[in-house]
């Protein structure tokens, strides 16, 4: 498991080396660039077209040679001129000695002309440069340039020489200076050794490939531009709020959280908006936690100073008093203050550890009815109720909650201890447990003076010192109910004070906890 976690961390580190904007652009543009690579593979389309023209040139040469074989000289010349004009080719006829006997370009006006590249504009020059670039990238096979031989003899043409030698038609590919293919075909004419040579400048192949490349390139550039703009827009909608949140978090970390207003982005309902509101709520909770710690520290200092001052006064006076009775009284005061300080320290430590202990503990199924019943029996066995009677009632059915047993027991102890301390001698403390709306509700009610409505929240304030008449000062830290509420809220519950439900004198503390499924 550790190795797997480490590998995942390294993977996240590797993917996080680049800015989010760059990664969004890369993810959206890279597939388009891969598709744009199809521009270079139009060379395969060009090769396919040339292969088809090879077949056509061979067939045309063979059919023309058969037509010329049985014709008179005049008919041969007429056929050369007619076929040359219709097919936009140059046809030349050579006799058995390899001498040129007829040329369609000499017998009539040329049916096509090779392009003079000196007159090309910048678009044509760019097209030729792009053709050469693509050929270089795809490692296209080099093709010989087309050059008219000085001697108009059959042996000056390799394809003619081979056709004369083998008695079979031959096809050859050349390149003109403007990058267009030139396809020649040689075929024997009759059985006496005469040969025919056809020459065609297949400009349409180059134009077709360039048109396809231009169309695809334009479309790819348009899509690429649109994708880049959309990617930047998407990155902006993601990165900008994240940067705002990051800057706010940095300022909070630097201790200037009071100056920082973390953006909540209420107009966004996506994950970014959820993150913004979560960070804002987290910052608010952090501020409240800091305020609570500051307030707690101030309350602790105030509460400990009182018994310390009393203890110091008793010790200082003890050194100057000779009366044994007074000395005994001062020693009792000092002992009481020591116990009070010890109780305060214990309760303060318990209050400060509530959240940490619950966060580390494993939740268990706890039956609140059994928990309160066992606690009540334990208090009665130890005579801790001072003559008060504790009655417990529970509705039919389970009263199971998920929680930390020791912490829930502490809440129950504090609730019962508070009710017992405020109930009159021979009074009755009632504990009622029921379940409602997927919650387990526990009400601990006493028969004491009750709590005024405007002061019911005060009893949960730390070090609250409103104690019943006749109770010795300092026997309670004032943290019991505060700790109880903290534990209840840590279990996703609540603890409130209210009047008795039957309308009688006394107060009622109501604990609500989610019922276990």
Q: Measured between alpha carbons, how far is 383 from 388 in angstroms, rounded to an integer?
A: 10
Q: Measured between alpha carbons, how far is 403 from 409 in angstroms, rounded to an integer?
A: 10
| Dihedral sign of CA atoms 377, 378, 381, 385 in order | negative
| pTM across the whole model | 0.45
Q: Measured between alpha carbons, how far is 383 from 195 in angstroms, rounded to an integer?
A: 132
Q: How many CA atoms lie within 13 A of 186 on its CB side?
A: 23
| pLDDT value, residue 326 | 81
- What DSSP letter does each residue of 447-494 carry, written as one string? -SS---GGGTTGGGSTT-----TTPPTTS--S-HHHHHHHHHHHTT-E
Residue range(s) occupied by CATH 1.10.287.130 in the chain: 262-360
Residue range(s) occupied by CATH 3.30.565.10 in the chain: 361-517
Query: Which residues contact residue 364 at a Cβ distance below 8 angstroms, ignoring those fewer than 6 apart?
Result: 402, 403, 404, 405
8-state DSSP, 89: -
Three-class secondary structure of residue 357 per DSSP: helix
8-state DSSP, 202: -
Instruction: Say if domain 262-360 classifies as CATH 3.40.250.10.
Output: no
Residue range(s) occupied by CATH 3.30.450.20 in the chain: 39-213
Query: Which residues contact residue 505 at a Cβ distance below 8 angstroms, ignoring those fewer than 6 apart?
Result: 447, 448, 449, 450
CB 49 within 8 A of CB 141: no
| pLDDT value, residue 266 | 76
Split the chain (517 residues) into runs of 10 and give each run's mean pLDDT.
43 49 64 59 75 91 90 91 93 92 93 86 81 74 87 89 90 90 93 91 85 74 76 75 79 64 74 79 74 65 70 79 80 78 70 64 87 90 85 82 88 88 87 90 90 82 59 55 84 89 86 90
For the domain spanning 39-213, the CATH number is 3.30.450.20
| pLDDT value, residue 199 | 95
Can you state the angle between helices 324-360 and 480-490, rounded to 10 degrees? Answer: 0
Q: Domain 361-517: which topology?
A: Heat Shock Protein 90 (3.30.565)
| pLDDT value, residue 474 | 45
| pLDDT value, residue 59 | 93
């Amino acid at each position: 498991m550790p190795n797997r976690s480490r590998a995942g961390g390294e993977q996240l580190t590797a993917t996080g080396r680049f800015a989010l904007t760059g990664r969004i652009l890369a993810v959206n543009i890279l597939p388009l660039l891969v598709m744009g690579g199809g521009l270079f593979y139009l060379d395969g389309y060009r090769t396919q077209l040339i292969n088809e023209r090879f077949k056509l040139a061979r067939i045309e040469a063979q059919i023309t040679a058969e037509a010329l074989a049985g014709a008179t000289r005049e008919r041969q010349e007429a056929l050369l001129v007619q076929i040359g004009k219709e097919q936009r080719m140059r046809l030349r006829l050579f006799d058995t000695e390899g001498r040129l006997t007829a040329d369609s370009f000499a017998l009539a006006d040329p049916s096509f002309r090779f392009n003079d590249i000196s007159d090309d504009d910048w678009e044509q020059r760019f097209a030729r440069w792009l053709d050469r670039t693509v050929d270089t990238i795809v490692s296209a096979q080099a093709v010989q340039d087309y050059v008219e031989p000085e001697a108009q003899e059959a042996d000056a043409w390799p394809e003619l020489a081979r056709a004369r030698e083998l008695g079979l038609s031959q096809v050859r590919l050349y390149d003109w200076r403007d990058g267009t293919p030139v396809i020649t075909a040689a075929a024997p004419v009759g059985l006496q050794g005469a040969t025919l040579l056809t020459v065609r400048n297949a400009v349409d192949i180059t134009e077709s490939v360039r048109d396809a490349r231009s169309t695809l390139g334009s479309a790819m550039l348009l899509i690429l531009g649109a994708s880049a703009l959309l990617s930047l827009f998407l990155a902006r909608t993601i990165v900008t709020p994240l940067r705002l949140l990051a800057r706010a978090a940095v300022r909070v970390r630097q201790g200037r959280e009071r100056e920082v207003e973390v953006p909540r982005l209420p107009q966004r309902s996506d994950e970014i908006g959820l993150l913004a509101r979560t960070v804002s709520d987290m910052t608010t909770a952090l501020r409240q936690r800091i305020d609570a710690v500051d307030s707690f520290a101030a309350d602790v200092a105030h509460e400990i100073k009182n018994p310390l001052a009393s203890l110091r006064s008793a010790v200082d006076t003890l050194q100057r008093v000779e009366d044994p009775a007074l000395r005994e009284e001062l020693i009792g005061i000092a002992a009481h203050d020591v116990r009070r300080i010890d109780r305060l320290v214990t309760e303060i430590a318990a209050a400060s550890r509530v959240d940490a202990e619950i966060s580390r503990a494993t939740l268990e199924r706890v039956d609140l009815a059994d928990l309160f019943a066992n606690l009540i029996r334990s208090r009665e066995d130890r005579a801790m109720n001072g003559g008060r009677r504790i009655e417990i009632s529970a509705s039919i059915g389970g009263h199971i909650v998920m929680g930390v047993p020791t912490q829930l027991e502490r809440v129950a102890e504090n609730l019962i201890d508070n009710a017992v301390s405020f109930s009159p001698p021979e009074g009755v403390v009632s504990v009622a447990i029921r379940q409602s709306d997927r919650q387990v509700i526990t009400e601990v009610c006493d028969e004491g003076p009750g709590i005024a409505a405007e002061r019911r929240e005060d009893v949960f304030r730390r070090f609250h010192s409103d104690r019943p008449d006749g109770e010795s000062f300092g026997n309670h830290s004032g943290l019991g109910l505060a700790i109880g509420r903290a534990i209840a809220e840590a279990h996703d519950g609540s603890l409130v004070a209210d009047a008795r439900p039957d309308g009688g004198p006394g107060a009622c503390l109501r604990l609500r906890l989610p019922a276990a499924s």
